[in-house]
Structure 1
Amino acid sequence: MNSPVEIPFNSFIKINRESEKAIYLQLADEFAKAIQLGYLPSGTKLPGSRQLSSIFNLHRNTIVACLQELELQGWIRIVPNKGSYILTYNASYKFQKIDKNENHSENSYPKEAGFHFEKSILLDNPYEHYTEKLYLTDGTIDNRLAELKIPAKLYSSILKRKTSFLKINQTENEFFLKNLANYLNLTRGLHISKENIVVTKNSEMILYIISQILLNKDDCVAVTDLSYYKTNMIFQTKNVKIKQVSVDENGMDMKALRIICENNPIRIVFVTPHHHYPTTVTLSLERRIELINLSKEFGFIIIEYDYDFDFHYSNRPILPLASTNQNGMVIYIGKFGSYLASGYHAGFMIAPENFIQETKKHLSIINQEVDPFIEQVLGEMIDDGEINRILKKLRKIYKERGDYFYDKIKSELNEFIDVNKPSGGLAIWVSFKQKINLMQLKKICSKHGLFIPQTLLYQTKKTTSIRIGFGHLNFEEIDETIAILKLSILSLIDDNNDKS
């Protein structure tokens, strides 16, 4: 241990000044006990006698006598001009000379719990580590373009202000909530106030809390047959019944949803209507109206997850379901600031005020609110128009990348794939014309320096597709990525032909 003065000696070493036993012997016994209990692992360097004297409020001579006693008993080794070190302790109460290259495990923390608990397969981490130069995502920003200077400058300025924007015991930043409500009203056609908003560190946390409030065991939740894996994981933690609804070029199939509703008491329908995850198709206007009507008829809640509204490339984006007259049956979830530097991102939920208040009760337990200083930064960036300026610049860049990626993959891989150009977002849905093993494709791409996460691969009896994000790639990286994909597909097809 490099900083022995940080060890809380007084928490496990006690001296009884009323005892007839000499204090230096009491201290030596307490040190010996601490070593046996693992409080002082082998190799630990003890503080010097002056520091120990200060820690225990004892005369330095008493400390020196204690250290000498510990060395005589074989508990420590005193190295002149260097310090005192705990010796290696084993089960036979024998002590060995410390080898600094030896892996000491006797006093290590237990690797396994001594109690039983249920392990969740559903929550196994789907993310993989990679070492490849290039990698694919499901549609993320390019962190090299993320705005950092403006929010950092504002944050520094806010910290220097003498007046506080937070009242005593206030956990929310009202300035940010008011500006966020105004921003969402203007950009998404909503009609809300700050009482209709709750903000957390990410949208997945909101989904988790919603599931805790609204779902019970054996409730039925309808999702699309190809859907966001994290959402399904969150819902299934409540032991619900997942009902899958088919998707086509116009989004969720409302006829299929009606059949499911007629045969099951659906509690929640989860949709991503702006750009369906993962296929990127937009829910048509007719189906949006029908979804609202089905909600009124069968009484299910609509959770609308609008994960990439900011990345629309037309002047008239399709407005969310939450902007319509939906009798308080739509919970709208989105992201704010995902195009800024990490740390300035937030998830938000729009819902009727009474549900917002219930959500805040749960949030108060797990403390997932955004830093109020970060919220102040975001509020001021909305108020002075910086958010709009940043988004205008970034949308232009991402649209150019999306157009380039689509044209490139269409020209290079047209004989192997079907692909439609999405109206927005940061990803493209690629379907293969013939059945290939996507896991084999993943392995071949890896050999050529391209990592494809397993969560991007969609292989069923009907589907052989990949969701490919382009936002994080510049033009040169797009060229290289598509070249590797082409080379790997050809290699896989040739290999399959040889085997047949």
Structure 2
Amino acid sequence: MNSPVEIPFKSFIQIERASHIPIYIQIANHLTQAIQSGTLLPGTKLPGARTLSELLQVHRNTITSVYEELYAQGWIDVKPNRGAVVMPRLPKIKGRTTESHGYPATTGFSFITTPLLDNPFDYAPCDYVFNDGVPDIRLTQIDDLSRLYSANMKRKSNQKKMSYYNQEGSRYFKEQLSQYLRLSRGFKISINNLLITRSIEMSLFIISEIILRQGDYVVVGAPSYFAANMIFQKSSNRVLTIPTDDEGLNTDALEELCNKHLIRLVYVTPQHHYPTTVSLSARRRMALLQLSKKFGFVIVEDDHDYDFHYDKQPLLPLATVDTAGMVIYVSSFGKSLAPGFRTGFVVAPENLMVEMRKYLGIIDRQGDVMIEQALGEMIEEGAIQRHMKRSLKIYKERRDYMSELLEKHLGEWLSFQKPTGGLAFWLSFRQPVNLMRLKKLCEKNNLFIPRTLLYQNKDVTALRIGFGHLDQEEMNKTVDILRQSISEL
């Protein structure tokens, strides 16, 4: 319970010194009303007699009398060395209620609501969980992170940076990140081409606020990332889908749409398409850039899994070969680290950056300078590269092991391609099954599958399941539960 000194007693205890009612009774009555109304909740510790007397400017013996009165009426309990505490069970008074009126359940005014942004996530108390492909927090280099963060907090030169808002972010981090992106992804950029955000989703939200207006057409793959779909639907209300196959987004279908509608934005995850994990082929990458130049639509390239590749070097981002300034590149940094050390970023031409910083200054003006400083040092010291090298070896082993398990135990029901990168498998059922029923059976057997991982329509019955967060023992158990649950359908 909150410390008593944090409770604004003077706001609800008003003493009328000219009244014929004794002061201790006035104070007791005000405290009783505060307990009855719910201002003072059951279990709240009241301040000591000396503290409250000084606050209300009355004699200490007056507060002692107040507490004796409240104790006699059953409102508080007084224990040696612990002081006065509001009773957990309050007394009932005939003709009056001791229940709190509470905060208003609804507003007295109308406002705009939207089902488009309803929380898509669900939860269940299971020991085992599938996700859509997140790293294993147990592999995080906690020592490196804590050392760098602690050092930055203590460094005097950084103390000024914590005393003022800075929507531009850490210049040092942006310098290190731009260099990292030049070496790892082929970007020829300066810090003026970078925007640091909290996440990919925040980046997409800012982009949609600037680029889209109601009625604009947005094109996404079928299927596509649910959070991006929600953001674009809210901003434009016209989201069209085109098929995806083994080469990724179907650019022929996109061209047909462009001939029918004025397309404003195309959202693509070319490195590992979400959720199917396939890569956009080199041929279609070039076709997409050519269509963008021809029809004038913006390409938003979401590169959420670039750092996780196993078998060969990935193709460079579309944005690195974009000469017309039509691609906005969105990604994250530190995805393999603890959640609090991850950050999103956007790469785009400078004129768009100017506008994006205005929006960032409204929704996240302060940022997190200390985290950015620590991340910058991880790049400069090479710690992030060493961590990625170690963790990639483990994730590759986990991918291979999960592939063997799926083939051995679920091959008769499911088909899949071993992903060349990322932290998830796309599992297609050979024959349609009821995925919601499968989800419930898995929960009954102690395995939780979020509904956001279920993909089912007249043409597709599939699951996206992450493997990065599971060790071999956990993979054995989850695949066994999945096999058992499928057999019970």
The CA distance in 2 between the partners of 1:308 and 1:90, in whole Å, is: 60
Question: What does the per-residue CA deviation read over 1:419-464, in whole Å, with 9 as the maximum and x for residues that have no partner?
Answer: 1122111111111111222222222222322222111111111111
| Alignment partner of 1:279 is 2:276 | yes
Shift of 1:467: 1.1
The CA distance in 2 between the partners of 1:78 and 1:274, in whole Å, is: 64
TM-score (norm 1): 0.88
Counterpart of 2:53 in structure 1 is 53
1:206-217 aligned within 5 A: 206-217=203-214
| Alignment partner of 1:154 is 2:151 | no
The CA distance in 1 between the partners of 2:105 and 2:185, in whole Å, is: 50
Paired letter, 1:217: Q
Counterpart of 1:423 in structure 2 is 420
Name which of structure 1's ranges 63-72 and 120-129 shifts more when overlaid on structure 2.
63-72
1:20-419 aligned within 5 A: 24=24, 27=27, 30-31=30-31, 34-35=34-35, 37-41=37-41, 44-64=44-64, 76=75, 79=78, 83=84, 85=86, 88=90, 94=96, 105-164=99-158, 169=164, 171=166, 172-314=169-311, 316-367=313-364, 370-419=367-416
The CA distance in 2 between the partners of 1:347 and 1:203, in whole Å, is: 5
Paired letter, 2:12: F
Paired letter, 1:465: A
Shift of 1:197: 0.8
340 and 70 in structure 1: CA distance in 2 versus 1, 3 angstrom threshold: closer
224 and 84 in structure 1: CA distance in 2 versus 1, 3 angstrom threshold: closer
How many residues were matched structurally? 483
Shift of 1:268: 0.7
Gap runs ≥5 in structure 2: none
Paired letter, 2:152: I
Shift of 1:25: 6.0
Gap runs ≥5 in structure 1: 96-103, 493-500
| Alignment partner of 1:11 is 2:8 | no
Shift of 1:36: 5.6
Question: What does the per-residue CA deviation read over 1:249-276, in whole Å, with 9 as the maximum and x for residues that have no partner?
Answer: 1011111001111111111100000010
The CA distance in 1 between the partners of 2:218 and 2:67, in whole Å, is: 67
The CA distance in 1 between the partners of 2:406 and 2:10, in whole Å, is: 66
Paired letter, 1:132: C
The CA distance in 2 between the partners of 1:217 and 1:395, in whole Å, is: 42
SS in 1 for 2:138: coil
45 and 387 in structure 1: CA distance in 2 versus 1, 3 angstrom threshold: closer
CA contact (8 A) 1:199 1:369 kept: no
Between the aligned residues of both structures, percent identity stands at 46
Paired letter, 1:11: S
164 and 44 in structure 1: CA distance in 2 versus 1, 3 angstrom threshold: closer
The CA distance in 2 between the partners of 1:106 and 1:401, in whole Å, is: 54
CA contact (8 A) 1:224 1:244 kept: yes
The CA distance in 1 between the partners of 2:266 and 2:77, in whole Å, is: 69
Counterpart of 2:460 in structure 1 is 463
92 and 302 in structure 1: CA distance in 2 versus 1, 3 angstrom threshold: farther
Name which of structure 1's ranges 249-258 and 309-318 shifts more when overlaid on structure 2.
309-318
RMSD: 2.7
76 and 280 in structure 1: CA distance in 2 versus 1, 3 angstrom threshold: closer
Shift of 1:318: 0.9
The CA distance in 2 between the partners of 1:69 and 1:481, in whole Å, is: 61
Shift of 1:480: 2.3
Paired letter, 2:187: L
Question: What does the per-residue CA deviation read over 1:363-410, in whole Å, with 9 as the maximum and x for residues that have no partner?
Answer: 222226541111111000100111111111111111111112122212
SS in 1 for 2:203: helix
SS in 2 for 1:348: strand
Name which of structure 1's ranges 209-218 and 477-486 shifts more when overlaid on structure 2.
477-486
454 and 43 in structure 1: CA distance in 2 versus 1, 3 angstrom threshold: closer
Paired letter, 1:9: F
CA contact (8 A) 1:275 1:308 kept: yes
The CA distance in 1 between the partners of 2:77 and 2:441, in whole Å, is: 58
CA contact (8 A) 1:179 1:382 kept: yes
Counterpart of 2:436 in structure 1 is 439
| Alignment partner of 1:480 is 2:481 | no
Shift of 1:78: 7.0
SS in 1 for 2:464: strand
CA contact (8 A) 1:89 1:106 kept: no
Counterpart of 1:498 in structure 2 is none
SS in 2 for 1:46: coil
CA contact (8 A) 1:43 1:88 kept: no
Counterpart of 1:100 in structure 2 is none
Name which of structure 1's ranges 139-148 and 285-294 shifts more when overlaid on structure 2.
139-148
The CA distance in 2 between the partners of 1:187 and 1:83, in whole Å, is: 63
The CA distance in 2 between the partners of 1:279 and 1:234, in whole Å, is: 20
Paired letter, 1:106: S
Shift of 1:79: 5.0
70 and 434 in structure 1: CA distance in 2 versus 1, 3 angstrom threshold: closer
Paired letter, 2:4: P
191 and 93 in structure 1: CA distance in 2 versus 1, 3 angstrom threshold: farther
CA contact (8 A) 1:426 1:471 kept: yes
Name which of structure 1's ranges 38-47 and 142-151 shifts more when overlaid on structure 2.
38-47
Name which of structure 1's ranges 269-278 and 143-152 shifts more when overlaid on structure 2.
143-152
